[in-house]
Amino acid sequence: MATTTGDWWIERDEGVGFSHAYRMRRLHREQSEFQEIEVFEHEALGRVLVLDGLVQASQADEFVYHEMLLHVPLLGRARDHASVLIVGGGDGGALREALVHPFVDRVVMVEIDERVIAVSNAYLGVQGDYDDPRATLHCVDAADLLAQAARAGDRFDVILLDLTEPVGPSSRLFSEGFCRDLAGCLADDGVVVDSDSLFLTKDGPRYLQELCADGAPNLVNLMRRSGILPHIAAYRSVVPVYPGGEFGFFMYSRDGHDYSVPAGVYEGRHYNPALHRASFALPNWWRRALGFA
């Protein structure tokens, strides 16, 4: 678990022998039905959201993650209209970025823990407009909602997995059954975007999600082994508050469309078209880990 020593808060290390330490002051702590929710104040990073001892977002750099998560899949293919499903995303940043684009005419967000939404809205203030007529929020288990949507034939152009590590309410989603329901909710020319922190060790790269789950496969490895969505691509970024800094985004699709060339022009606080293209340039150790080389 996370520990506190004087003014310093130390994140869980998941057995890798290093972690981030922050000198910060706790503003809020509660135990919801699903997880421990904490908010801290950091002099340089601003408000920091922590769930079950792992940092989820800071006011200083959350836009880096959210812009790369949203704009690469949305702008990597020409679309006149797009529907978006956000799984998780309780801090609201993914919703904010999805609503930036006028061609996005429907955004469904499913977050199991309504307290994460309420606390994030009150303390972080990075959320999108939940009252936007294009937005629909469901505070239910995503595994149940996606199973129902797949049976009903509800399809989305872009599905974004904005999940916590598999140590609490997200653990049910790291399964082959959930992958099949994801595929069942995806349009034929759609894409699912997943993400994870990577640690580079002397024995090769390790995924944070697999470390948190005691070696159980993360979604990228489940997709690789199952072939449920047969085409896998990856792009990368650096998100300073995440363990190791090195952060991967993984795209799963049926048709293998190349999302590395932006089909539209957009300038965010972090995102731009040149960065979009460059993020698909992968180091050789990444390519080997993903089976690309």
In the predicted model, what is the mean pLDDT of the chain? 92
Question: 182 CB contacts (<8 Å, ≥6 apart)?
Answer: 146, 159, 192, 228, 229, 252
Is 80 exceeded by the pLDDT of residue 173? no
Segment 82-100 shows an average pLDDT of 98
- Is residue 178 within 8 Å of residue 217, measured between CB atoms? no
Q: pLDDT for 42-63, tens place per residue?
A: 999 999 999 999 999 999 999 9
Distance CA 263, CA 54 (A): 35
| The CATH number, out of the four listed (3.40.1190.20, 1.20.120.530, 2.40.50.100, 2.30.140.10), of the domain defined by the range 3-58 | 2.30.140.10
Residue 109 backbone phi and psi in degrees, to 5? -120, 130
The pTM of the full predicted model, rounded to 2 decimals, is 0.95
Is 70 exceeded by the pLDDT of residue 41? yes
Residues of the chain above pLDDT 90, percent: 73
What is the pLDDT at residue 167?
Answer: 67
What is the pLDDT at residue 246?
Answer: 82
Confidence of residue 1 (pLDDT cuts 50, 70, 90): low
C-alpha distances in Å from residue 53, one per residue of 9, 137, 142, 203, 278: 10, 26, 22, 26, 33
- Is residue 164 within 8 Å of residue 56, measured between CB atoms? yes
Domain parsing of the chain, residue ranges: 3-58, 62-289
Segment 8-12 shows an average pLDDT of 93
> One of 162, 181, 194, 196 is an active-site residue; which one?
162
| The CATH number, out of the four listed (3.40.50.150, 2.30.40.10, 3.30.930.10, 3.40.50.2000), of the domain defined by the range 62-289 | 3.40.50.150
Least confident of 59-68, 136-145, 240-249: 240-249
Neighbours of 240 (CB within 10 A): 12
Is 70 exceeded by the pLDDT of residue 293? no
181 is catalytic: no
Segment 285-292 shows an average pLDDT of 88
Distance CA 98, CA 71 (A): 8
Is 80 exceeded by the pLDDT of residue 277? yes
Segment 2-11 shows an average pLDDT of 85
Q: Which of 217, 212, 215 is nearest to 228 (CA)?
A: 217
